[in-house]
Structures are given as C-alpha cells and as structure tokens.
Amino acid sequence: MIKQATIKNSFLVEGKGLHTGKGSKLIFYPAPVNTGIVFVKEDVEIPALYNFVCDTNRRVILENKGKKISTVEHLLSALYSLGISNLYIHVIGEEIPILDGSAQQWIKLFMDSGINLQDAIREEFALKNPLFVKEKRRVLFLFPSERFEVLGVISFPNSYVKWQRYFLKGLEEYYTEIAPARTFGFHYEVEELIKRGLIGGADLNNALLIGEDGYINEARFSDEPVRHKILDIIGDFSLLGKFIRIKIISIGSGHSLHIKALEILDKMAEGGKEG
C-alpha cells in the first residue's frame, strides 16, 4: 500500500508556455488527504482527471466552467513519479511553464519544497487482464503488473528518428532516465506549427530539434525522443487519479489514445472489476 503525499512548503514558479509563448505564474500549496491534484484558475477548481480533458492536440488541456489550463502533462508526470497525490496549483495565465522542456526542473522544485507523507492510503488500480486499445496506427497494449512500467516504441520512417524504443522498468528509474528528456519536434514541421499558433515558446533550450541527418541541438540521450514519449505517457495516465499497477506497451501512441484508455480503465474500476 502506498501513502498519499503532498508538499511541505508552498512555492512560486514563473515561465513561458511552450505553445502560447506567454508568461504564466503557478503557486503550489500543500493539500489535505483525498484532495487530488487540483488546478485553480480565477477561483475555479480544475481537477487533474481525464474527464476534464477538453483538447489533446499536441498537448493536454484541462477545462472546467470555461476556464482552461494548457500543457499539463510534463508537470503531472513529475508529480506522479514522486508520489505527490494531493496538491493545489493556483494558475495565473493560460499554460503551464515549459521550463527546460523536460520534467527535470519540476522534480528539483518539488524535492526542494519537500514531500510530506500523509496518514492515508492512496487509491490504486490493478489491471487483472490484458487490454488492447487502438486508434488508427497508434496502439496501446496494457498488461497486469505489480509495478508501473512502460515500454515505448516510436517510428518516423522518413526521418532521422526511424525508430526508437525504451523500457522503463519502474518509477525508481524516472529521475535519471526519463525526467531529463525534453519535448521534441522535426525541422520540417516548424513553419506549419507556428502558422497553427503552436510552439510559440519553443526554442533550442527547451526542445530537441530533429533535422534530416541528426539532432540540430545537442541531445541529452541518443534516444531522447522516445524517453520523452514515456514522460508524456506517465503524465497522461496520472489523470486516472490513482496509482496504477500496469505494464504499458506504447507503439506510437499519443494523448488522445491515452485518454481513451483511461476511460476504459475507469469504467472497469467503477464496475468493481479491475481489468
């Protein structure tokens, strides 16, 4: 059994958003047991749960009562890896700061704040039977496990990243093997994304840019893109609001497929048959 946890001390973070390029402020506050992760914008609470997701186009956007918070996945990934399950996050702005494009700085901020174990047990979900979820050519295989583990596979056949795979065997490896991996993009899509009002805050300090023959800026890992994909998967699956005992095999999956899988898992939990 895993205990619930929150932070020991409040703190402030400021920075620009990856897509909007606009500045925002986040103030983190400890929260009592059974609160969950809750964003607060203009006095409206927006729980970090999959049924508050309103958009999955290249990032995850949460919404409640017309108030939206964009690009939550990196922050949520860091929180899940640290076991922080109760937290109030007051947001001034539209988008979560991108920081260095990974979860590494988030981890340090929470570690510096301190983590407080609480006198309550965290709700868990244990998958008992394999599950297959598909969306076009994107695939998720979910298997029972005593741990939270992820095998990620990505393939971009006509690019430098023809295919990559990485297996995260447990969250204890997250800090060194997954947290430093930054968001990534391809040089040929930059102009189009800018036209669509995306990546307005991206630069070579917070994103890995992939050219025709290699990485344009220095990579932190030779397989940094697939490691970042796993970072995103963890952030998305945290939106179930429980600790999940599961083995995930992702083949090119994205945010929308992850949310689809969470809907199925939640129905299993509600029906009292965990998998």
H or E element that contains 53: strand 53-55
Beta carbons of 225 and 208 less than 8 angstroms apart: yes
Active-site residue, selected from the candidate residues 19, 228, 255, 258: 255
Alpha helices in 174-275 (DSSP H): 174-177, 190-195, 224-237, 255-270
Distances (CA, A) of 245 to 100, 226, 230: 29, 21, 16
Nearest residue to 254 via CA among 77, 63, 58: 58
What is the residue type of 243?
F
Alpha helices in 55-213 (DSSP H): 73-82, 104-113, 174-177, 190-195
Nearest residue to 238 via CA among 94, 37, 5: 37
> Is position 228 annotated as part of the catalytic site?
no
Q: Checking phi first, is residue 86 left (phi over 0); if not, alpha (psi -120 to 50) or beta?
A: beta
Neighbours of 26 (CB within 10 A): 20
The structure tokens listed for 90 are: 């007051």
What 3-state DSSP class applies to 58?
Answer: coil
- Residues that are catalytic: 255
